[in-house]
């Protein structure tokens, strides 16, 4: 695990939380592969400097002021990132780490699409339920995760596939299921 930031007390606290999670649940052992950015107490110049020296890889958690969330998401649209408020409770931090670990594990069992785009088993299930007209809340209940997790997964999938709308993502997924290139303008059934 790599933690970047300015506040050594906050960084030490995050390290302890991750260490406790790994001890309690061996499935979180790969949380040590995460990059965590503690932006507490940093101004915008310090944030940019930190990110330039240590850019996020595939998965990153930003612990920052809520006013900086939009900026951080725009800086790394091609990365799977999660922003957590610097005022987050211990349980919220644990939940963020668990969400990122779940996403990382789900992305390990990838399947190839005709155009080289990959869908995880979880993403395939989300897309199948979406095509049947289920809402994010319904999908979250069916998968026994939070609606935020479903939303993050779907957003990440749209980023990875280069689709700009849910309809385009549905068309791509239908083509994936059929083993053909996606037809332009194909529409998703059900209410989205």
Average pLDDT, the chain: 79
DSSP-derived 3-state class of residue 33: helix
Each residue's pLDDT tens digit, 69-86: 888 888 877 677 888 998
Q: Determine the Cα–Cα distance for residues 83 and 64; give it in Å rounded to an integer.
A: 7
What mean pLDDT is predicted for residues 15-43? 77
pLDDT at 115: 55
Cα 73 to Cα 69: distance, rounded to the nearest angstrom: 6
Query: Which CATH code, of 3.30.200, 3.40.50, 3.90.1720, 3.40.720, is assigned to 1-108?
Result: 3.40.50
**Residue 192, pLDDT score:** 37
114 within 8 A of 132, measured Cβ to Cβ: no
pTM score? 0.56
98 neighbors 28 (Cβ within 8 angstroms): yes
Q: What is the pLDDT of residues 108-137, one digit of tens each?
A: 544 444 456 677 888 889 999 998 889 999
The CATH code of domain 110-192 reads: 1.10.10.10
Are 5 and 40 spatial neighbours (Cβ–Cβ below 8 Å)? yes
Q: C-alpha distances in angstroms, 145 versus 17, 24, 51, 78, 156?
A: 21, 20, 30, 23, 16
At 27 the pLDDT is 59
- Quick: pLDDT tens for 34-58: 788 999 888 889 999 998 898 887 7
| Residue 82 near residue 152, CB atoms below 8 Å | yes
Contact residues for 45 (Cβ-Cβ < 8 A; gap 6+): none
pLDDT confidence of residue 159: 83
- Show Cβ contacts of residue 115 under 8 Å, excluding neighbours closer than 6 positions: 172, 175, 181, 182
Could you tell me the residue ranges of all domains in the chain?
Answer: 1-108, 110-192
Report the candidate in 148, 187, 184, 152 with the shortest Cα–Cα distance to residue 167. Answer: 187
Q: Give the separation between CA 128 and CA 130, rounded to whole angstroms.
A: 5
Cα 50 from Cα 5, distance rounded (Å): 7
What digits encode the pLDDT tens for the residues 153-184? 888 888 888 888 888 888 888 877 776 544 44
Cα gap 45→42, rounded to integer Å: 8
Question: Which tokens go with 60?
Answer: 């990153």
Tokens 């499935």 -> residue: 27
């Amino acid at each position: 695990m790599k933690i970047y930031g300015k506040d050594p007390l906050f960084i030490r606290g995050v390290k302890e939380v991750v260490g406790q999670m790994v001890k309690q649940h061996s499935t979180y052992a790969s949380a040590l592969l995460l990059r965590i950015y503690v932006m507490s107490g940093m101004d915008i110049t310090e944030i940019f400097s930190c990110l330039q020296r240590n850019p996020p890889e595939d998965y990153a958690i930003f612990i920052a002021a809520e006013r900086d969330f939009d900026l951080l998401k725009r800086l790394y649209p091609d990365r799977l990132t999660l922003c957590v408020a610097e005022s987050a409770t211990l349980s919220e931090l644990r939940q963020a780490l668990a969400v990122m670990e779940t996403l990382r594990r789900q992305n390990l069992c990838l399947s190839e699409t005709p155009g080289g785009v990959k869908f995880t088993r979880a993403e395939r299930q989300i897309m199948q339920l979406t095509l049947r007209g289920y809402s994010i809340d319904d999908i979250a209940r069916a998968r026994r995760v939070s609606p935020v997790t479903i939303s993050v997964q779907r957003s990440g999938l749209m980023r990875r596939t280069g689709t700009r709308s849910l309809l385009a993502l549905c068309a791509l997924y239908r083509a994936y299921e059929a083993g053909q290139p996606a037809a332009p303008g194909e529409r998703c059934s059900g209410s989205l």
